[in-house]
């Protein structure tokens, strides 16, 4: 009888202890923020849940009815490990439709705001003194002749930068990745125009100086070997490139430098670039947004309010505005998963997008409109190959505008310009090497204006030339 009472006593004591412990342990989120809906269940006495350094974990015992594993001597209870942010992310900026539509606020509650990720804005530069950008800026570079600073003298790059990583300072606007770093790379002038040589040079510089994500809210209808080489170089070095899909989707295509409606623009149409289409506040396709086989993803791009030079703000529309939303999302994902490759980040963006238009991939929205919350709360991605139809090629030769008096040339390593052009021709056309992109092995030649086509034909017929092409003009999109 005494033995039975003793067993009963210890059983009651054990159950009381379990009840007491479960009453003490209570996981709470920071005020006004939601706990990340993510957990790990462990059925062994040893808990090994790996979490990022900025997370806290707290094991919670559940009731006896949840027992799922026993042994002859021990009783194990499943432990639910909740993840929550160790610091509060404060923000009080208005959350406009573009951020609301992509569920940015919920994504920020997943302990990632883009920390540790550098996003290069290859554009007209960035206002280096803007109160909503200054805290996130890192060193940049200008590739525009006559300028030494990447400060923005046009406005376009500053507007783009705000959407990527406008800081949380409870005023003005906030970006998709408000703690990501912004690298200003100026390749377009005060009119929003530049050359593909400068864009390629900017991409190479950004890559070599640590950019994880490169945003290209610009484009040209000229398909360039030099530009593609820069894109491939950056991708092979581990960067993710995101570009505007083009604004030639309506009857005003000619105002955006296109020869016909939905004409492919580059670099967006290259396989190693995420081409972004634009949506409006109702998740409809923006009227100006290009359709095509190269469109991979969509994001808000109509009537976007963002930063502008001299500490101002402005509303602008274009696939230029859609692209930085995707670049910002890439920064959020990479910050949360620093060991992922560029292809894994890219796959995560595609796999978690909200399908729009026709079921599955379509030429209007690609794989759908981005969803930041889904991208940060789904951790099951694996790198996948890009849709075979995503690289566009022109059906016919394009008469694209180019910089007068300039030719881009790539030679075999054992060949020089003197080997492929007659010395008399060099003197007659005043041919000079005006610049090189070392990592790409590309030279920019200056020649007598008006002689570009003739000299180009001669180069293409010479041995030792890998390619020679015109230096096409690139503009904002």
Give pLDDT tens digits for 248-286. 999 999 999 999 999 999 999 999 999 999 999 999 999
239 contacts 214 by C-beta, under 8 angstroms: yes
The catalytically annotated residue of 127, 142, 153, 156 is 156
Q: In this structure, are 49 and 101 located in the same domain?
A: no
In a domain, 9, yes or no: yes
The helix-helix angle for 196-208 and 225-236 (nearest 10°) equals 10
Quote the CA–CA distance of 181 and 165 in Å, as a whole number: 7
pTM over the 0.85 mark:
no
Confidence at residue 237, expressed as pLDDT on a 0 to 100 scale = 98
470 contacts 210 by C-beta, under 8 angstroms: no
In a domain, 393, yes or no: no
Q: In this structure, are 231 and 297 located in the same domain?
A: yes
Q: In this structure, are 74 and 119 located in the same domain?
A: no
Query: pLDDT tens, 140-168?
Result: 999 999 999 999 999 999 999 999 999 99
Confidence at residue 111, expressed as pLDDT on a 0 to 100 scale = 86
Confidence at residue 154, expressed as pLDDT on a 0 to 100 scale = 97
Quote the CA–CA distance of 412 and 395 in Å, as a whole number: 29
Provide the domain count of the chain.
3
Give 353's Cβ-side CA count (13 Å radius): 31
Q: In this structure, are 186 and 215 located in the same domain?
A: yes
Q: In this structure, are 274 and 182 located in the same domain?
A: yes
Confidence bin at 292 (pLDDT 50/70/90)? very high
Confidence at residue 384, expressed as pLDDT on a 0 to 100 scale = 55
Quote the CA–CA distance of 52 and 401 in Å, as a whole number: 49
Concatenating the DSSP letter of every residue in 85-127 gives ESS-----S---HHHHHTTHHHHHTTT-S-TT-EEEEEES---
State which of 85, 105, 132 marks the end of a domain. 85
Confidence at residue 56, expressed as pLDDT on a 0 to 100 scale = 44
Query: pLDDT tens, 25-75?
Result: 443 333 332 222 332 332 333 333 334 444 443 333 333 333 344 444 444
Q: How many CB atoms lie within 10 A of CB 63?
A: 11
Residues whose CB is less than 8 angstroms from the CB of residue 184 and which lie 6 or more positions away in sequence, other chains included: 121, 125, 126, 128, 137, 140, 141, 150, 151, 152, 157, 161
Q: In this structure, are 55 and 135 located in the same domain?
A: no
Let me know if 130 is a catalytic residue: no
Beta bridge partner(s), residue 307: 313
382 contacts 347 by C-beta, under 8 angstroms: yes
The catalytically annotated residue of 110, 123, 195, 317 is 123
Let me know if 320 is a catalytic residue: yes
159 contacts 117 by C-beta, under 8 angstroms: no
pLDDT of residue 327 exceeding 50, the answer is yes
In a domain, 152, yes or no: yes
Distance of CA 377 to the CA centre of its chain: 18
Q: In this structure, are 414 and 357 located in the same domain?
A: no
State which of 51, 85, 119 marks the end of a domain. 85
Let me know if 156 is a catalytic residue: yes
In a domain, 394, yes or no: no
Q: Which domain holds residue 42?
A: 2-85
**Sheet with 181-186: strands ordered across:** 141-142, 181-186, 118-123, 213-216, 240-244, 274-279, 295-300
Q: In this structure, are 293 and 326 located in the same domain?
A: yes
Q: In this structure, are 313 and 448 located in the same domain?
A: no
């Amino acid at each position: 009888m005494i033995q039975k009472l003793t067993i009963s006593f210890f059983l009651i004591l054990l159950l009381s202890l379990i009840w007491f412990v479960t009453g003490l342990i209570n996981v709470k989120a920071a005020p006004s923020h939601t706990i990340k809906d993510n957990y790990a269940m462990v059925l062994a006495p040893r808990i090994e849940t790996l979490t990022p350094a900025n997370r806290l974990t707290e094991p919670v015992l559940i009731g006896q009815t949840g027992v799922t594993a026993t042994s002859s001597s021990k009783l194990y209870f499943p432990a639910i490990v909740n993840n929550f942010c160790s610091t509060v992310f404060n923000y009080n900026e208005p959350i406009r439709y573009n951020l609301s539509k992509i569920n940015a606020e919920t994504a920020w509650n997943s302990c990632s705001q883009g920390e540790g990720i550098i996003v290069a804005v290859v554009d007209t530069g960035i206002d280096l003194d803007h109160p909503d950008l200054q805290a996130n800026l890192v060193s940049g570079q200008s590739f525009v002749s006559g300028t030494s600073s990447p400060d923005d003298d046009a406005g376009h790059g500053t507007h783009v930068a705000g959407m990527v990583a406008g800081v949380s300072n409870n005023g003005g606007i906030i970006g998709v990745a408000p703690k990501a770093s912004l690298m200003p790379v100026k390749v377009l002038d005060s009119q929003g125009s530049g050359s593909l040589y400068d864009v390629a040079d900017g991409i190479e510089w950004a890559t070599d100086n640590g950019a994880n994500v490169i945003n290209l809210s610009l484009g040209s209808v000229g398909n360039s070997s030099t530009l593609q080489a820069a894109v491939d170089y950056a991708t092979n070095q581990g960067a993710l490139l995101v570009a505007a899909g083009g604004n030639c989707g309506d009857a005003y295509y000619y105002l955006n430098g296109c020869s016909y409606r939905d004409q492919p623009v580059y670099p967006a149409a290259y396989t190693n670039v995420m081409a972004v289409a634009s949506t409006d506040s109702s998740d409809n396709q923006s009227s100006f947004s290009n359709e095509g086989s190269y469109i991979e993803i969509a994001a808000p791009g109509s009537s976007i309010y963002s930063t502008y030079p001299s500490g101002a703000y402005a509303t602008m529309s274009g696939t230029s505005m859609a692209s930085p939303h995707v670049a910002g999302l890439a920064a959020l994902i990479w910050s949360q998963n620093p060991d992922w490759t560029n292809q894994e980040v890219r796959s995560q963006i595609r796999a978690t997008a909200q399908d729009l238009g026709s079921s599955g991939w379509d030429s209007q929205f690609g794989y759908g409109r981005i969803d930041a919350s889904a991208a940060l709360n789904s951790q099951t991605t694996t790198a996948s190959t890009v849709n075979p139809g995503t690289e566009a090629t022109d059906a016919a030769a394009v008469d694209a505008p180019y910089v007068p008096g300039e030719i881009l040339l790539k030679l075999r390593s054992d060949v020089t310009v003197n080997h492929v052009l007659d010395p008399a021709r060099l003197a007659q056309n005043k041919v000079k090497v005006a610049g090189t992109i070392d990592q790409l092995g590309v030279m920019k030649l200056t020649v007598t204006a008006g002689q570009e086509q003739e000299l180009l034909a001669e180069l293409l017929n010479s041995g030792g030339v890998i390619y020679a092409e015109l230096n096409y003009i690139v503009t904002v999109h």
